[in-house]
Amino acid sequence: MANLKLPSLLFFLYSISTVSAISNSKHQPLDPLTPTEFTQIQAIIHESYPKPKHNISFHYVGLDEPDKPAILSWLSNPTTNPPPRRALVITRLNKQTHEIIIDLSSKTIVSDKVYTGFGYPILNSKYAVSDLVKAYEPFKTSIKQRGLNISDVVCNYNGVGWFGEKKSKLLVKVPCYYTDGSVNVYLRPIEGITIVVDTDEMKITEYKDRIRCPVPKAEGTEYRTSKLKQPFGPLLNGAATMKLDDPGFMIDGHTVRWANWEFHLGFDYRAGMIISLASIFDNEKQQYRQVMYRGYISEVFVPYMDPSEGWYDNTYFDSGEFGFGYCAAPLEPLTDCPINAVFMDVHIAGPDGTPVKISNAICIFERHSGDIMWRHTETWVPVREVRADVSLVVRTVATVGNYDYVVDWEFKPSGSIKVGVGLTGVLEVKAVDYTHTSQIEKDAYGTLVADNTIAVNHDHFLAYYLDLDIDGAANSFIKTNFVTRRVTDKSVPRKSYWTVAKETAKTELDARIKLGSKPMEVAVVNPNKYTKPGNNVGYRLIPGSTAGPLLAKDDYPQIRAAFTDYNVWVTPYNKSEKWAGGPYVDQSRGDDTLGTWTLRNREIENKDIVLWYIVGFHHVPSQEDFPVMPTLRGGFELRPTNFFEFNPVLKVITNNDNRPNCTCNLTIARRFV
């Protein structure tokens, strides 16, 4: 992944100086699999299960992450041999799901276990469902009856969900769209046709042509600059110009070092970008201190609120059904990322196990935001001190069907980690007969955003896995409740004040929180480490985007997505508990999720614990979201609380040599005159 990509040939001189910041180092145990390793894995599988006797498809190939104690032991003495490097391969083999562990040193299969529980692995993109459906005579008849051209039809595939069925097969639902006159295919659905395909048999098992609605018009769906027409505006400046002779950070293999931060940057087919081993240098102690062992997006749940036939099962699990890493999109220099960004390629295994490169999948850059890190003007003496805020951003984008998720991890010299997600892309819409809201007589389940186009109400819930190790693995979870007190001293006129009452969560059920139910702060602390005044060192969670589920608890999608029932969860570390929605999400039944693990009510005080935070959005679409949606942002912050003895950026030095040499352009003021 450490293959450096630069924005364009215009930055050749920059490339010369930046390449020196990259060095090749030997494997670190958490490094993602390499193209060579993917090829080895593919060969080992095919040698063990040769064709045509075995019908095999690859649904996940990734690092079999060593157990955490083994990693920590190696880190404490890196001159010893690292833990064995192994790969986890999940396949469909002769209509069964196999979990295969491969030792990459000996190039042998260590174990092969058939999964017999509920649910299926990530959907495999090799399914040729579009060709199958477009060759199906009843479908061709339906298209002809609608006056459409079959050559302008494209079809996708989605999971079918689970709605109480006792038995299940590996099925996908196939929605189709019309491309004539527009590249914005998601805004031109062919409504009223239900198609279900058994992907083990590659047969259509259900076909219904229920209703006839007009396909929404192509007019107004264009978003490409080259195809848009006058008038344009407003006119915005491009990327800010700044000195590029020093990127400000170092990349050594998969380890990134910037300012006082050091962390490992990985990538996974299902999770996408993974941040590990994040530590910050304490200038007073002259040592790096642990903050986070591992952090990533564990699951993304997107339920749509149309319960009618053909729509009720649109309840997507974007990570567990499609793979957030598989959906990573190449980033565009100067637009997705600024001029000072360094780009990285990643590699994943394709549907047949062949390594696939995603170019420019990650970018890293210093953000010179124009914000203030800290400042003060002393009114009694002529003193003013101010520091400009600079941070390091690591970014990737996952395009899952119609939606684009912009995922940022932002590291600040103050010790904060700001985690952001931006929602953009194209709405999922339903074709209807309506052209005006006055025609709607019953619940339309969304907003009429254009002729014959209802943008359906929906939610986005992103479950973040945050294994914080604050100055070590043994941590506790603290709830700081804000309590109103009455003033009992009659000699003062005040009637009340607020104070705090701290509560240590003893077990998993103690730690579940619906934020907003009462005023509180939450933090992960090390109960064995203290500051000089006697406070426990810790990091607090500053929440954002705290929407919770509105579905009934007995609704089947909510049973599967019970991890959204609370905004905050805490579990003891367990290598197998990585995915909030369970290891096998497609057609899962909610029996192996974050919601069920915590029912064991394990002890979490002074233990190696994992914090789970659920970012939530309720989205009622508006016309401004059409035909492509301006980015809606949310996220949260992990902020040090009594971690340092005093302000860690008190002595920060700003390099003013990086200031751009520019003059004010007075024509800017005339653009809107």
**pLDDT single digits (tens) 402-432:** 999 999 999 999 999 999 999 999 999 999 9
Query: Which of these, 171, 174, 161, 183, lies nearest to 227 by C-alpha position?
Result: 183
Return the minimum-mean-pLDDT range out of 44-53, 78-87, 430-439: 44-53
Q: Which of 403, 405, 556, 566 is catalytic?
A: 403
Is residue 458 within 8 A of residue 304, CB to CB? The reply is: yes
Question: Is 539 annotated as catalytic?
Answer: no
Residues in the chain: 673
Fill in the amino acid letter for 177: Y
Q: For the chain, what percent of residues have pLDDT higher than 70?
A: 92
Q: Would the pLDDT of 210 be above 70?
A: yes
Question: Would you call 14 helix, strand, or coil by DSSP?
Answer: helix
Phi/psi at 205 (5° precision): -105, -15
Query: Whole-angstrom Cα distance, residue 596 to residue 590?
Result: 8
Question: Is 14 annotated as catalytic?
Answer: no
Q: Summarize pLDDT for 429-481 with one digit per residue, the tens.
A: 999 999 999 999 999 999 999 999 999 999 999 999 999 999 999 999 999 99
Q: Which of 306, 318, 345, 408 is catalytic?
A: 318
Q: What is the largest CA-CA distance in the chain?
A: 91
Kind of pairing, strands 249-252 and 22-23? parallel
Query: Which of these, 98, 65, 100, lies nearest to 84 by C-alpha position?
Result: 65
Higher pLDDT, residue 111 or 211: 111
Instruction: Say which residues have a Cβ less than 8 Å from residue 576's Cβ, sequence separation at least 6.
Output: 583
pTM for this entry: 0.93
Instruction: Say which residues have a Cβ less than 8 Å from residue 475's Cβ, sequence separation at least 6.
Output: 468, 469, 524, 525, 526, 527, 606, 607, 608, 609
Sign for the CA dihedral angle at 318, 323, 324, 326 comes to: negative
Place 19 in a pLDDT band, splitting at 50, 70 and 90: very low
Helices (H) and strands (E) in the chain, counts: 8, 34
Q: Would the pLDDT of 7 be above 70?
A: no
